[in-house]
Chains A and B, each alone.
Chain A
Amino acid sequence: MGYAFSMWKNTRMIVLVAVCAAIYAAALIAFKTAIPLIPGITEVRVAGIFLVVFGFLFGPAGAWGLAFGNLMGDLFGGTFGPASLTGFLGNFLQGYLIYTLWTNLVPFADKVYEWKVKSRRSWIRYVIITCISSAASGIIIAVAVDALGVVPYTVLSKIITLNNSIGGIIGVFLLIAVYDITRGQLGLVWTDVMDVEVPVRRPRGPLGAWIVTAGVALGLLCNLIPGLPVNVASWLSAGIIILGSLLL
């Protein structure tokens, strides 16, 4: 979690937050009413192709950029409300989990923070992390939105998970296209901007990664567990995800 706060001392990272937020918000506003899934709450998110790319390339700046971009999308797309604050948290979490799980989700993790297009492990890691981070984001948003009485948890958690996972997986083509230019020519991958040789993997990192994964599994399958009410399981799942994220 340390980099998510220390990045605010770095001018390039601050500018990256603004740029990521602006791109994400522009895409969200432009396609807000194109294909609505739950009007006013969620739609087919064309902007989803930026989720994993921003989280992976710009790390903490990407995570904050997604959070602010989503907030701006709500503000100027006409859907701002208390649920937007959970959207802020959920989108931040999605970006945060992408760059933290990349080096912590053993045995899929890699010690080197790199995207290798010819490595099968990179592809598998990308897909797994995209799905876990999308589900974590979906569960956190859906739990709060359900509590506010906006949309039921069981509907929204699945929609956001699927929506973000599909967008994120399609986003791999964008990552392939821009990775070399961002790292080689512009030097804007977050580990280079913040002079992080290799993101530190502390022993609690993999533990946090698997706690998040367990929380996600509970959140998605909670309506299949006999004797455990969905609202209890969903809050438990959200708590586990946040606990695991704090350990990363």
Chain B
Amino acid sequence: MNVSLFQDHDSWLHRLDPRTKMIGAIILFAIILSFNHPLFMAGISLGILAAAFSARSLSALWKLRYILVLLVAFSSILWPFFSEGPTTIWYWKFLKVSRESLLFGIAMGLRLAAFVMTSLILLATTRNEDMTNGLIKMKLPYPVAFALSTALRLVPTFAGAGATIVQAQVSRGLDLESKNIVSRFGTLIPLAVPMFVSAIRYTNLLAMALESRGFTPDSPRTLYYEPTMGRRDWATLAALALILVVSLYLRLGLGVGVVMPGRM
């Protein structure tokens, strides 16, 4: 199992400092949350798609196209029944759909897709190690960053061990093709036990290896790769901050980009 979505290209987004990309993603999330009108959400989504295109990361989005389509479709179907608006266009017994709730549903679907696309661009343009280094530079305590980076490294190891265990059990006659959810759950226990035990044994080995090398969680660290913020990083953050300020002014000052005023 490869848990990295990183794509090695030489684009302006790849060259940005990991901190810029992470803070930029947070600002972008705030911009996305500023509106709940489908036209505004469509505009923001197109902007994010353009950023993905310029970073040559469209193939990362393409990999998850089914999830993106499902997100938009499901949210657009679900929300109209759980939000209320004054202009009713359809009702049946206790179910009611208004023009506003329908538009709100479409906007929420686009919002969810915009969230996912933003995070995918971040992952497609940033290596896991750079992300961890960026987090340390942003004052995340070292033991937490160490746990996170170790976990990232261990996922493929454990997934590989899991695949071996599955093959071993299937060769002994374990049926994993059953359509019944309950029986599928039942077959997981004989798989989960050896996977769990082999992973937990690894804990003691890794802890001993770390302690024998003098690992102390609290001691100060230096990094082999020191990320630095350049002029381009500050310019990117300033541009995103400006867009956020304009978005907030449009929403809070002028009441633009809203289809359901009481909601975020």
A interface, CB within 8 angstroms of B = 8-12, 14-19, 21-23, 25-26, 29-30, 33, 35-36, 38-40, 44, 46, 49-50, 53, 64-65, 68-69, 72, 75-76, 78-83, 147-152, 154-155, 170, 173-174, 177-178, 181-182, 186, 188
Contact = CB atoms under 8 A, between A and B. Distances in A.
Interface in B45-96: 63-64, 66-67, 70-71, 73-75, 78-79, 82-83
Contacts of B202: 19
B contact face: mostly helix, strand, loop, or mixed: helix
A248 B203 CA distance: 28
Contacts of B112: 40, 81, 150
A182 B202 CA distance: 12
Contacts of A152: 78-79, 82-83
A81 B29 contact: yes
A9 B218 contact: yes
24 contacts: A11-B215, A12-B204, A15-B203, A19-B151, A19-B206, A22-B154, A22-B199, A23-B196, A26-B162, A30-B1, A30-B159, A46-B188, A68-B151, A72-B155, A78-B64, A79-B67, A82-B29, A149-B111, A150-B112, A154-B82, A174-B196, A177-B189, A177-B193, A186-B204
B259 to A, nearest CB: 11
Interface residues of B, number: 71
Contacts of B162: 26, 30
B115 A82 contact: yes
B207 A29 contact: no
B263 interface: yes
Given A15-B210, A21-B151, A39-B71, 16 more contacts: A8-B141, A11-B216, A14-B147, A14-B217, A15-B147, A18-B154, A19-B203, A22-B151, A29-B3, A30-B159, A46-B185, A68-B148, A68-B151, A81-B116, A150-B75, A186-B200
A23 B158 contact: yes
B202 to A, nearest CB: 7
B207 A40 contact: no
Contact of B195 (A12, A23, A173): A23
Contact of A149 (B36, B64, B207, B210): B36
Interface of B: 1, 3-5, 29, 33, 36, 63-64, 66-67, 70-71, 73-75, 78-79, 82-83, 104, 107-108, 111-112, 115-116, 118-120, 123, 141, 143-144, 146-148, 150-152, 154-155, 157-159, 162, 181, 185, 188-189, 192-193, 195-197, 199-204, 206-207, 210-211, 215-218, 263-264
Contacts of A22: 150-152, 154-155, 157-158, 199
Nearest to B25: A80
Most chain B beta-carbon contacts within 10 A, residue among A15, A23, A46, A76: A15
A49 B218 CA distance: 33
Nearest to A24: B151
Contact of B207 (A12, A46, A174, A181): A12
A80 B67 CA distance: 12
Nearest to B79: A152
B111 to A, nearest CB: 6
Contacts of A26: 1, 155, 158-159, 162
Contact of A25 (B104, B155, B192): B155
B251 to A, nearest CB: 13
A182 B147 CA distance: 20
Given A22-B158, A152-B82, A154-B82, A14 B67 contact: no
Contacts of B207: 11-12, 15
B33 A82 contact: yes
A151 B78 contact: yes
Contacts of A182: 200
A44 B185 CA distance: 10
Nearest to A32: B67
Nearest to A48: B185
A178 B190 CA distance: 12
A153 B197 CA distance: 37
Nearest to A16: B203
Nearest to B104: A149
B75 A18 contact: no
Given A17-B147, A23-B196, A72-B152, A11 B141 contact: no
B116 to A, nearest CB: 6
Given A22-B199, A178-B193, A72 B116 contact: no
Given A82-B33, A149-B263, A182-B200, A72 B151 contact: yes
